[in-house]
Amino acid sequence: MRQITKFVPALYIVLLMMPIYWLINMSFKTTNEILGTFSLWPNEITFDNYIKIFTDPVWYTGYFNSLSYVTLNMVISVSVALPAAYAFSRYRFLGDKHLFFWLLTNRMAPPAVFALPFFQLYSAVSLFDTPIAVALAHCLFNIPLAVWILEGFMSGIPKELDETAYVDGYSFPRFFVRIFIPTIAAGIGVAMFFCFMFSWVELLLAKTLTSVAAKPIAATMTRTASSSGYELGLLAAAGTLTIIPGAFVIYFVRNYIAKGFALGRV
């Protein structure tokens, strides 16, 4: 029995890590080895794939572009969602519940629906092919999400905290920055994580709204064949590097993610 309780999770983890291992495995192989032989680990370890990514501007600017629009999007989404979520959590106003639900319905339309109008609109105001264009487009589904998550966290803070601060002499802005934001820091972290996650993996809008200057890494990566034929090792290396920021961010919010998936309501 003792053996099984160890064996089952071990098997689970092995199966779960298999594709990731295979990706990392491939990233250290040459394309010839990938296509020619079946090997559980690289026969001949090569770092050429990684060297190419870090030296070829086509590759590393992809990372830079992706990270810049994702960061921009996180900052915009959370700073816009904070006051909105505060209003939804603390005040009753005309149509508040409908508006709150309507926010979430924005997520129901597939991004493809918005690809054409965004493309046309951003071209018209010459935002096309800039990181800010993608960041703004991603706000469409990230702001509602951030509002929902933050509202949940804020509603978990009794409004007596606000009252206590006013009684202590805090003005509203001072209270909001000095007391309230630190109190829901975990919620802000979770909201930022979710914004990161959706913005980082979204491909359609990011691809449509950029061409060369702001091309995201995912777009570069999905270009499977190049002039020199299939470069599977290179793509695997790019894939490996793409996982890292996600893993890094998850590490910081690991204790709060479950609460975030429940939109702060636990």
Q: Which is nearer to other proteins, 164 or 222 (CB)?
A: 164
DSSP letters spanning 180-218: IHHHTHHHHHHHHHHHHHHHHH--HHHHHT-SSTT--HH
Q: How far is the CB of 263 from other proteins (least distance, A)?
A: 21
Q: Three-state SS across 146-159?
A: HHHHHHHHHHCCCH
Q: How far is the CB of 174 from other proteins (least distance, A)?
A: 7
Q: Which is nearer to other proteins, 25 or 183 (CB)?
A: 183
Name the residue nearer to other proteins (CB basis): 158 or 229: 158
Beta carbon of residue 188, minimum distance to other proteins (angstroms, whole number):
13
- Give burial (CB, 10 Å; 0-12/13-18/19+) of 104: middle
Q: Which two tokens stand for residue 186?
A: 């975990």
Q: Which residues bind other proteins (CB under 8 A)?
A: 158, 160-161, 163-171, 174, 179, 182-183, 185
- Choice between 43 and 255, CB closer to other proteins: 255
* CA dist., res. 120 & res. 127, Å (int): 10
Minimum CB distance to other proteins smaller for 17 or for 177? 177
Q: Considering the complex, what minimum distance in angstroms separates the CB of residue 242 from other proteins?
A: 35
Integer Cα distance of 73 and 97 in angstroms = 26
CB of 157 to other proteins, least distance (A): 9
**CB of residue 178 vs other proteins: minimum separation in angstroms?**
9
Q: Which is nearer to other proteins, 166 or 252 (CB)?
A: 166
Q: 187 with 201: CB under 8 angstroms?
A: no
Least distance from other proteins to the Cβ atom of residue 252, Å: 17
10 Å CB burial of residue 194 (0-12, 13-18, 19+) is buried
Query: Burial code of 43-75, b = ≥16 C-beta within 10 A, e = fewer?
Result: eeebeebbebbeeeeebbbbbebbbbbbbbbbe
Q: Find tokens 């975990």 and name the residue.
A: 186
Measured from the CB atom, the residue of 95 and 117 that comes closer to other proteins is 95
